Amino acid sequence: MTVKSKVQRFLVELGGARALGPAGVEIRQHEPMSRHTTMKAGGEADLLVVPQDVEGLRRVMVAAQRAGLPVMILGGSNVIVQDGGIPGVVVKLSRLNHIRPAGADRIEAEAGVLLPRLARAAAKAGLSGLEFAIGIPGTVGGSIVMNAGTREGELAPRIESVTLMRPDGDVVTLGREELRFRYRHADLPHGCVVSARFTLQPAPPAGIDATMTRMLGERNATQPLHSPSAGCVFKNPPGDSAGRLIEAAGLKGHRIGDAQVSERHANFIINRGHAQAGDILTLIRHVGRQVEQRFGVTLELEVKIVGRAARSRPAPRSSHRGAGGSGGGRGTAAHHGALTTRVVEV
């Protein structure tokens, strides 16, 4: 079956391509991913779907499986979508956004809830433990997959259980110990996180608020929060910081096209306006090589690179400390060496 006929089959399974069709799913075709990622770059998804509720999500998963289309769940804050876009179905869970108290020291959240909103809801309920999450712009689902965190804490120890929908629409609930969390990683079975339950500690809301205010202030002072980015590009190597190594390699401000190593925090790459994903990936590869050559440290990616490379794109111009333009003549096919090109299929 061609991609076009798979897409047709998917739409028929869902009851037609109308926005907010009978399946309770908003559907858009050829949707630019620059609209849905904090990096504000990348090509189009064949289909972007926004289920209105868990039943809509189940219909999407089942229809995609029947049509043979890959599915990727997208929050958008830790991914770089390549310029060739994402084949198949991208699912956004922004309508799965409910938070429920679950007893004296527990709170439940659907997968589309943004972490800062969850942190504030927990504070209001007098529950401490999610303060570190106040400045992390991901969804609950993506943040469980990434075991998101800061020096002040990470999600894993706060998680009691995670409810996941498998590709065939079945729903399972898994305990924390089954997910084998590590630094910025969880071993999740194929599927879509639907919701999670967190166990926290009762504490006075004023103290929790004060901690969050301090953390936001520190973040504002050290991170380029006013420019599009995908957060930290590389994981910190054991006992060191990727930002320190990149800065020591003299790469702060290094620019390829509109992609630039942040002057404020060297482990962030910012989009200065019209960065192509290809420029961002070329810059990432350059940074990785320089750090390896200078310090013998191989940096591992924290961001996830998804989708397919563009067949051809403008050849980028490399420069230092902000003097670059946004590309020269036509280049050949974009290749990104050791960087992974993948669509996360569920």
Ligand X SMILES: Cc1cc2nc3c(=O)[nH]c(=O)nc-3n(C[C@H](O)[C@H](O)[C@H](O)COP(=O)(O)OP(=O)(O)OC[C@H]3O[C@@H](n4cnc5c(N)ncnc54)[C@H](O)[C@@H]3O)c2cc1C
Minimum CB separation of residue 173 from ligand X in Å reads 14
CA distance 91 to 317: 34
Ranges within 70-109 binding ligand X (CB under 6 A):
72-79, 93
Q: How far is CA 229 from the centre of its chain?
A: 11
CA distance 42 to 50: 19
Nearer to ligand X by Cβ, of 125 and 225: the residue is 225
Nearest residue to 272 via CA among 315, 227, 233, 316: 227
Check binding of 286 to ligand X (CB under 6 A).
Answer: no
Check binding of 150 to ligand X (CB under 6 A).
Answer: yes
Among 235, 289, 304, 317, binds ligand X (CB under 6 A): 304
Task: Confirm if 178 and 184 have CB atoms less than 8 A apart.
Answer: no
CA distance 86 to 97: 24
Check binding of 138 to ligand X (CB under 6 A).
Answer: yes
Site string for ligand X, 162-201 (x = CB under 6 A): ------------------------------xx--------
Stretch that binds ligand X, among 142-150, 239-247, 256-264, 327-335 (CB under 6 A): 142-150
* Structural tokens at position 176: 């924390």
Nearer to ligand X by Cβ, of 30 and 190: the residue is 190
Check binding of 139 to ligand X (CB under 6 A).
Answer: yes
CA distance 258 to 270: 8
Minimum CB separation of residue 328 from ligand X in Å reads 29
Ranges within 221-240 binding ligand X (CB under 6 A):
225, 229-231
Q: Which residues bind ligand X (CB under 6 A)?
A: 38, 72-79, 93, 111, 136-139, 141-143, 145-146, 148-150, 192-193, 225, 229-231, 304, 344
